[in-house]
Copies of this chain bind each other. A is one copy, B any other.
Amino acid sequence: MNPILQTIMNHRSVRSYSTEPVADDQIRRIVACAQAASTSSYLQAYTIIGVRDPERKAKLAELAGGQRHVASCPVLLVFCADLRRLELAAEMEGVRPDETAASLESTELFMVALIDASLAAQNAALAAESMGLGICYIGGIRNRLAETAELLRTPDRVIPVFGMTVGYPARTNNRTQSRKQRLPPESVYGEEQYPDSETLKQSLTSYNADISAYYRERTGGERADRWTEQAATRLRRPTRLDVKEILLQRKLPLQ
């Protein structure tokens, strides 16, 4: 395996960081790597906000549901879907707002921004990991999204979509711990077309057995969750149902 495949396959979320700081130059490299990702039609429809200020991180940790590593990491990168920069570009070209509204308010362009932000983020994650840093994605910043957006002063047509904690892993991180096993490839990858239902069901059943064994081993038999059980539990508790309304308020109506 080449070093890139190794770095990719060795990924684990790191939630506990040493006090060793992350240098500005490292952040610059991470941002440069983020920017090197593909971007739809050269639009580059995302912005990254780097947070180091302890008070702001503590506040964001609270907004994200009390995730302590958001406060304790040296740097939190917040990835935003950004259509404002494009709107500004059109303004600079003297284009009237009514000429750009249909694009800026479309589901399509929001998808472009979300995809651009995510591709950039995954480059950032791997760049950080290649330098010995650890990262953890923080979807929790969508828990109280309006407050998060206000705290980071994102304007209309921009919305934070996830965070990423960055820092050197604390020694207590056991990097050799078994990685949480992913779905069997045949349920995630289809040849020529979407996998058929029977294949899917069978592979989820065999996956359940593996996942249960994993939990049993890690908890001395106390837990034996099935993956389908976890998924079902999550679906029965709808979360963040206010996201649509917040997007609308911030001029991202997903038309």
Q: Tell me if A166 is interfacial: C-beta within 8 Å of chain B.
A: no
Q: How far is the CA of A53 from the CA of B191 in the complex (A)?
A: 9
- Range, interface on chain A: 35 or more
Contact A50 B99 (CB under 8 A): no
Closest B residue to A44 by beta carbon equals B183
Q: Is the interface of A mostly helix, strand, loop or mixed?
A: helix
Q: Scan A231-254; emit 1 where CB is below 8 A from any B CB, else 0.
A: 110111111110110010000001
Q: Scan A102-130; emit 1 where CB is below 8 A from any B CB, else 0.
A: 11101110011011001101110111011
- A: residues with CB less than 8 A from B are 2-5, 7-9, 11, 13, 27-29, 31-38, 40-44, 46-53, 56, 80, 85-90, 92-93, 95, 99-100, 102-104, 106-108, 111-112, 114-115, 118-119, 121-123, 125-127, 129-131, 136-137, 139, 142, 152-155, 158, 161-162, 180, 182-183, 185, 187-195, 197, 200-201, 204-205, 226-232, 234-241, 243-244, 247, 254-255
Task: Provide 6 A-B residue pairs closer than 8 Å at the C-beta atoms, listed in order of the A residue.
Answer: A5-B130, A8-B127, A28-B185, A118-B122, A152-B194, A244-B255
